[in-house]
Structure 1
Amino acid sequence: MAADHPEHSTAGTYTVKGKEFTRDTRYITTRVTRDGRDGFPVEAGRYRLVAARACPWANRTIIVRRLLGLEDAISLGLPGPTHDERSWTFDLDPDGKDPVLGIDRLQDAYLRRDPEYSRGITVPALVDVTTGAVVTNDYAQITLDLSTEWVDHHREGAPDLYPEHLRAEIDEVNAVVFRDVNNGVYRCGFAGSQEAYERAYHRLFDALDLLEERLTTQRYLVGDTITEADVRLFTTLVRFDAVYHGHFKCNRTKLTEMPALWGYARDLFQTPGFGDTIDFAQIKQHYYVVHTDINPTQVVPVGPDLSGWVTPHGREELGGRPFGDGTAPGPVRDDERVDAAHTPLR
């Protein structure tokens, strides 16, 4: 991979500058808000969330949408797990077209927003169904806005994933988790030199060790309920042994060898709204097929054994109330169920 050459990952365009992985974070930052100050007011049925199950950044939005009960307010488009250099594609849908947007490539929705759009065609993307144009692909802000701007459309009993009195601590934890864990695994996997890789490797596992210590004595990352911080860490942890440990060379320790983090990840996986959004087959297909610079044969590993994800975790002993004063989401909609063969939740 040549220095400064643009490539694509599940979260957009990146470059390798001085052999160091650098993510392009120049997203479309238009927001959908209650007051519509950016020209896009909250309106049930107007927007479609395009979010591939394979992508950890998109997976966050699928989880939050489900926890908050926004399925009727915001429809969900699901591209397949692989894409080419141009765009994510809707190859899982009949005739290879999204049934609502009528397009076969997510790129089309970006070009409707900006005919000269030249950055990464990323998921998640919130698309205005009335125009077919992307409103935003700012994944970090999308989930926060689902919690704070879409309140009028939350289900009865929806949890508060971004409680006001904990926001400063959540933001602080999220910053560390993004830098050293969510993005840290990518810095390991796409490092352009031994030195860059080892720096990323040590930062990743130093952060995981701190999280292991933190989660040894508390059930969730911030406070005693599930918050945005848990959603953001979970989507990396659930992919760790299946992808990052081998494919991205994050191989000091498996998740299953870190007791607190493994118990924490299983606790969340078994919580409605988390594990029922995870498609391990699509996750592996995406990373091992798309990243041909890392895996030129495109051979997808058979393992690991997934049965451990549904074993008892014992985290209840630490207390905590998963949904606070709220309740668990109901059953997954029939048209949004993960293929039973792709998950240990059956």
Structure 2
Amino acid sequence: MSVLPIAAHPSAQPHPAFRGRIGCDARSGHYAVPGRYRLHLSTSCPGGLRIAVAHSLLELSATCPVTVLPAVPDGPDGGHTALLPLYEATAHRHPGPALGPVLSDDWSGRIVSTHAPDIMRDLARRFGGDRLALYPCGAESELDAVERMCATGIEDAAQRAGDADTGPEERAAALDRLFETLGALERWLDGRTYMIRDQITAADVELWVSLVQLDTVHRNHLDAAAVHRLAAHPVLWSYARRLAARPAFGGHLDLDGIARRHHARCKGLEAAGAAVQILDWAAHAADTDTTPAQVDRY
């Protein structure tokens, strides 16, 4: 995949508290045993939504069960109180909130990882088998490029473009970076069904969730002119609509939860004429099976 270079920018994402891996280091003891590990996630969170989509695509409901977290964290520090026992068992007096998503080890009662990209890779490579090659051999550089574009060129740029704490010049530069990225992706997807192969890969999961966030969260803090420019990428939004119609994607859309999580932590600018979403996500996902495969709930 050839993409426009995107300048490096500091990420607004929190640093993962734990970053263990399954099956990579014998000293960790995290062997790939079906039924040993558990996911704790909320699909109102971008990282949780990405993992949930990958988990469904790989058909891992029996191999790695899921416990669903509330859409809005209930802890006074912005974390999930239900995750506190796992955090405390893994690191005594752990500083900071107990955040999801979490991949835990049911054998030890401790956390393996809170880093969503690593969790997705380990699920696919250690338990995916021949179901679907989310990370096809030889596509590492392409997958990394898409992941960076989504993180910095879409989500971070959109966040900064609507951040009330930044100046107008910085917001304008962020908006330019966002439209540069969307334009590159629009041209790349023209005539293609998927991002980098003739089947769904992790690149499609990354981009689809970024587009969901862009339309359901970040759009709220952009003015009407900017939203019209966002909508003027018909190839991208048609691609997002097609994926939303697939149960593994649209079946995990919790639009109410996304809205409640956003309002609970929102510090962006007031919306200016951007009240109407670009896609009617609920309608496009209406024909999917919206009942998650057997999950536990806190």
Query: TM-score w.r.t. structure 2 length?
Result: 0.81
Question: SS of the counterpart of 1:182?
Answer: helix
- Tell me: CA distance 1:239–1:66, structure 2 relative to 1, closer, same or farther (3 Å): same
Distance of 2:26 and 2:134 partners within structure 1: 22
User: Cα distance, 1:264 vs. partner?
Assistant: 0.4
Counterpart of 1:129 in structure 2 is 106
| Gaps in structure 2 of 5+ consecutive residues | 1-9
Counterpart in 2 of 1:92?
A: none
Report the CA distance between 1:35 and its aligned residue: 6.5
Structure 2 equivalent of residue 97 of structure 1: none
Whether 1:166 aligns to 2:156 is no
1:240 pairs with 2:249:
no
Given the alignment, which residue of 235, 239, 257 partners 1:264?
239
Q: From 118, 126, 133, give the equivalent of 2:95.
A: 118
In the other structure, the counterpart of 2:3 is none
Q: Measure how far apart 1:39 and its partner are.
A: 1.8
After TM superposition, the structure 1 = structure 2 runs for residues 86-105 of structure 1, keeping only pairs within 5 Å, are 86-89=77-80, 104-105=81-82
Q: Deviations over 1:10-32 (max 9, x none)?
A: xxxxxxxxxx8744435411111
The one-letter code matched in structure 1 to 2:77 is R
Larger RCO (CA within 8 A; separation ≥ 6): 2
Alpha-carbon distance change, 62 to 114 in structure 1, aligned in 2, over 3 angstroms: same
What are the equivalent positions in structure 2 for 1:317-328 lying under 5 Å apart? none
- Call closer, same or farther: CA 1:307–1:80 in 2, change over 3 Å: closer
Quote the Cα distance in structure 2 between the aligned partners of 1:48 and 1:307. Answer: 29
Q: Which amino acid aligns with 1:211?
A: L
Structure 1 unaligned blocks of 5 or more: 1-19, 90-103, 312-328, 338-346
For 2:257, the aligned partner's letter is Q
Q: How many residues align?
A: 279
Q: 1:57 aligns with which of 35, 47, 50?
A: 47
How far has the Cα of 1:128 moved from its partner?
1.6
1:210 equivalent in structure 2: 184
Please give the alpha-carbon distance, in whole angstroms, between the structure 1 residues aligned to 2:293 and 2:120.
Answer: 23
1:192-341 alignment, distance < 5 Å: 192-194=165-167, 195-247=169-221, 252-253=226-227, 256-291=231-266, 293-294=267-268, 304=277, 305-306=280-281, 309=284, 333=292, 335-336=294-295
- C-alpha distance in structure 2 between counterparts of 1:51 and 1:249, whole Å: 32
Compute the TM-score of the two structures, normalised by the length of structure 1. 0.71
Measured after TM superposition, the shift of residue 241 of structure 1 is 2.2
Task: Determine what percentage of the aligned residue pairs are the same residue.
Answer: 25
Q: Is residue 2:100 matched to residue 1:109?
A: no
Task: State the superposition RMSD in angstroms.
Answer: 3.1
Identify if the C-alpha distance between structure 1 residues 331 and 177 changes in structure 2 by more than 3 Å, giving closer, same or farther.
closer
Post-superposition Cα deviations, 1:275-305, rounded to whole Å, max 9, x if no partner, equal 11111111111101233x3489xxxx99645
1:61, CA displacement in angstroms? Answer: 0.6
Q: What's the CA shift for 1:207?
A: 0.5
Indicate if the aligned counterparts of 2:252 and 2:292 stay in contact, CA closer than 8 A.
no
